[in-house]
Amino acid sequence: MTRFEGFGPGVRQWFVGLEADNSREYFSAHRAFFDEWVRGQMAALLTELSDTFGGEVKLFRPNRDIRFSADKSPYKTNTYGLLLGSGVALHGLYASISADGLVAGSGYHAMARDQLERYRGRAADGRLGPELAKLLAQAENKGLEVWGESLATAPRGYAANHPRIALLRRKNLSLGARWEFGDGIGRADGLRFLTRTWRAAAPVTGWLDEHVGASALPLDRRRRPAHQRRA
């Protein structure tokens, strides 16, 4: 296994170059650097942390799915992966590197219809809802950001003046933090940052895993066509 050595300034320069020239020619010309110092180091980082958190490493391809996108740029401008099956987060522990820095997080990046119904029912509950709000506040006090999309108005069946309407309007819920690149991200800083962030997010992720859980819907029924959808 390659030892995680950190993400040096050359990694940031590689991503800056890709953002300026998102082409197969650029990627092919710099593929060896990507394989060793970008993707290779992300794999090493997650593999080392699997000794602490458990789980298996899943790295995502650098290619974008451009079939239904107006943006035909062929490559993602970040490299990311998950630790799956760690027992800490049902949907995995997330890490990403880009020109902006290192990102760590966890949570429910997307919710199927049955998950969203359970989530809103628990968030509206007089005991479980305040518990989630408290856990989120504690995570934010530790420096984490709460991510995700929200409806512009109250979801169907819930009053606009509900005391936790901000939680009820959410369509997904995840949280994490970013370590800015600076002159580089060293080995100790990278390992410590991911460990600290994942642990700080764990109470919220644990709440979601206990009270929302995985979708029971078949894959082809988890999302309705956009013109039929009202979350």
Q: What is the mean pLDDT of residues 15-36?
A: 97
Query: Rounded to an integer, what distance in angstroms lies between the CA atom of residue 63 and that of residue 12?
Result: 18
Rounded to two decimals, the pTM is: 0.91
Q: Say if 102 falls within a structural domain.
A: yes
Q: What is the pLDDT of residue 230?
A: 38
Q: Say if 185 falls within a structural domain.
A: yes
Mean pLDDT of the chain: 93
Given pLDDT bands bounded at 50, 70 and 90, which one contains residue 228?
very low
Q: Is the pLDDT of residue 225 over 90?
A: no
Q: Say if 26 falls within a structural domain.
A: yes
Q: What is the mean pLDDT of residues 121-130?
A: 97
Give phi and psi for 69, each to the nearest 5. -115, 140
Q: Say if 41 falls within a structural domain.
A: yes
Q: Say if 148 falls within a structural domain.
A: yes
Given pLDDT bands bounded at 50, 70 and 90, which one contains residue 57?
very high
Q: What percent of the chain has pLDDT over 70?
A: 94
Nearest to 97 by CA among 146, 142, 62: 62
Give phi and psi for 143, each to the nearest 5. 100, 5
Query: Rounded to an integer, what distance in angstroms lies between the CA atom of residue 11 and that of residue 135?
Result: 35
Q: Is the pLDDT of residue 224 over 50?
A: no
Q: Say if 165 falls within a structural domain.
A: yes
Cβ density class 124-133: b for 16+ within 10 Å, e for less: beeeebeebe
Find the CATH number of the domain harbouring 25.
3.30.1460.10
Q: What is the pLDDT of residue 231?
A: 41
Q: Say if 229 falls within a structural domain.
A: no
Q: Angle at which helices 40-53 and 187-211 pack, to 10 degrees?
A: 60
CA–centroid distance for 12 within its chain: 20
Tally of structural domains, the chain: 1
Q: Say if 191 falls within a structural domain.
A: yes
Q: What is the pLDDT of residue 227?
A: 33
Q: What is the pLDDT of residue 164?
A: 97
Query: Rounded to an integer, what distance in angstroms lies between the CA atom of residue 124 and that of residue 192?
Result: 35
Q: How far is the CA of 59 from the CAs of 40, 84, 114, in angstroms?
A: 10, 10, 28
Which tokens belong to 158? 């819930």
Look up the domain containing 113 and give its range. 6-213
